[in-house]
Amino acid sequence: MNGASRADRLEALVAEAELDQLIVGDLVRPGDSGPDAIANVRWLTGFTGTSALAVVGPGRREFLTDFRYTERAAGEVGGEFERITVEGRLIPELARRLEGRVGFDDAATSVHSLTKLTDAIGDNAALIPTTGLVERLRRAKDEAEVEAITAAARLADEVFEWVAERGLAGRTESEVAQAAEARMREHGAQPAFPAIVAAGPNGALPHAEASEREIGPAELVVIDMGAKLDGYCSDGTRTFATGELGEEELAVYELVRSAQAIGLEAVRAGVAGADADAASREPIEAAGHGDHYGHGLGHGVGLEVHEAPRLGKTSEDVLSAGDVVSVEPGVYVPGRFGVRIEDIVVVTDSGIRNLSGTSKDLRVTG
């Protein structure tokens, strides 16, 4: 990126939005943020703690944290930022530093925090709502980010193999999910989200969580899991069989597999997210399963497991090089079974690179 830092690129975007400054960070629970809520600060500054806000504008790079994180910030936050340790709460100190047209992210701000901020700012500052400016920049992953996501995906591949080798039938969904998550932790990763293990009729609920139901002897089992390594997530789904399947289950498996392959072909720089979705959806609709596919083709993956861009019917995003996205069509036959196959890929100048390595041949695990 020609040596322009992330903050430099954000400054350019702030100017483009006709703002003087942008507040970056979690204004829902400032001081006690979860990893997703504080992902923008992490991306911008390198800070991995749970309490920080940043301000970026022309000539301004300010990073605010509290006393618990002074030392960590000194080690993590780049020298271009002025590091400020706040006595007490973050918002009053933040408010004191704002002037001109100040953007805040309306998707990351509670009414409560906005009221406090509005009460505390000076007459020379005006708060302007914006949405997802940092997220827009976060889309284009650099080499180190792609490497981290690739490592997380490899680890998940290893766990898929391990889970399949141990067999699924006779164990409960939640046993399998917990074992998979424990395996990730043994390898030094965190689960990026609670693993989904959904067998038989539960597989027809696209967002099923792992239940106490025992997995049967001839069922389809949807397993959706991701690892988080160095802050970066992977996301992948395979559907396994625990025994000999019926004709319709086999046909739907092959249908989803081919729709997924079409989705992978469609995901290219310059292609609209809605068009990639439509290409992959077409064979599913043609087979009469359009009503059994209620979600979009995919989503961006990075510091968060769901981030920009979106690939779906109503998406207005256009893919570009550096995007890391999931490609995950599914068919969910109510009361009976579901199939979903999900890879994550990085969009390159010349095509895509698939970061998911687990085979998509139907695997019978027993």
For Zn ion, the binding residues (CB under 5 A) are 224, 235, 237, 326, 342
Residue 235 Cβ, how far from Zn ion at the closest point, in Å? 4
Query: Who contacts 8 (Cβ-Cβ below 8 Å, separation ≥6)?
Result: none
At closest approach, how far in Å is the CB of 280 from Zn ion?
14
User: Which is closer to Zn ion, CB of 30 or CB of 236?
Assistant: 236
Q: Please, which residue, 108 or 153, has the CB nearer to Zn ion?
A: 153
Under 8 Å between Cβ of 28 and 104: no
Nearer to Zn ion, 156 or 262 (CB): 156
Cβ closer to Zn ion: 121 or 227?
227
- In the bound complex, what is the minimum distance in angstroms from residue 233's beta carbon to Zn ion? 10
Beta carbon nearer to Zn ion, 26 or 235: 235
Nearer to Zn ion, 108 or 195 (CB): 195
Minimum Å gap between C-beta 344 and Zn ion is 8
Q: Cα–Cα distance between 228 and 192 in angstroms, integer?
A: 5
Look at the block and give the residue holding tokens 């990893």.
35
Q: How far is the CB of 169 from Zn ion (least distance, A)?
A: 23
In the chain, beta strands by DSSP E: 21-25, 52-57, 60-66, 82-86, 100-105, 125-130, 190-191, 196-199, 220-225, 227-229, 232-233, 236-241, 298-300, 307-311, 324-327, 330-333, 337-340, 343-347, 352-354
The least CB distance from residue 177 to Zn ion, in Å, is 13
- Provide the phi-psi class of 316: left if phi over 0, else alpha when psi is between -120 and 50, else beta: alpha
The per-residue DSSP string of 232-296 comes to EE--EEEEEESSPPPHHHHHHHHHHHHHHHHHHHH--TT-BHHHHHHHHHHHHHHTT-GGG--S-
